[in-house]
Amino acid sequence: MGLDIYLEKFAKPTIDTSKTYTSAELYDKDLSYIAIDDNNIENRLPQEIIDNYCQIVTITAEVIDPEKLLPYFKEKYPDTYANITTDDTNLCVAGTESADEDEITVIITDYNHTIDKFHASVTITSQNQQFDITKTIPIQVYVYQTEEVDYQRKGLNEYGWSLLPENCTYSTNYDNLVELVNEGGLSHSFLDNWIEGETALMAWW
C-alpha cells in the first residue's frame, strides 16, 4: 500500500465571496475546496482551519439527474419500476468505460433496489462522449489555499501507521506529530517545518 505524507501551510484566500465559481476557476487560482456538506460528514478540515483559513463561496457542480436516469430503469425493469419515483431511488455512477476517444459507457446503479440479489443497474453508451444525464446545481464550499512545506513517501513503522489521521484528513495535533517523529518513523524535518496555528499534517494512501 502506498503512503504519501504532507505537511501543508494554510493561507486564507483573497476571493470575492459574492461570486459563483466553477471548480475550474478555483483550480486556476490554485485554490482547494471541499463541499460543506461533505466536510460535515468526513471532517477533513479541523474547525480551527475552517475558522482561520477558509472562505465560504458557492460553486456550480454537475451531478447526475435522477429525473433523466429513471426512464432507463423503467425500460429495463418495467415491473419493478412501474410505480417508483426518483424519491425512491439512490442512483450513483458505479463505473465508466471508454472503448475509444469517441465512445464512453457509464454504469448507473440504484442502491435502493435489488434484482435477483444484485443492485439494479443500467448501462448507457454515448457517442462523442456526450450525455444528457446530468444537471447543474449550486453548492456551498469551504475554499482554502495551501503550500506544501514537507513531504515523506512511506517510511513509517507499524506504530506510525496507527498514529496517522484518517485518510486525506488534516490534523493540527502537534503532540501526535511529535509521537510520529519520535516513535513512528516520520522525518524530523516535519517538526522543523511545523508552524503552530498555520500548518497541518495530511496523509494519503
pLDDT recorded at residue 128: 61
Confidence of residue 136 (pLDDT cuts 50, 70, 90): very high
Residue 129 pLDDT greater than 60, yes or no: no
CB atoms within 10 A of CB 107: 14
Provide the pLDDT confidence category of residue 157 given band limits of 50, 70 and 90: very high
* Interatomic CA distance for residues 120 and 197, integer angstroms: 48
User: Is pLDDT of 43 > 90?
Assistant: yes
Question: pTM of the predicted model, to two decimals?
Answer: 0.79
122 Cβ contact list (under 8 Å, min separation 6): 69, 72, 73, 76, 107, 108
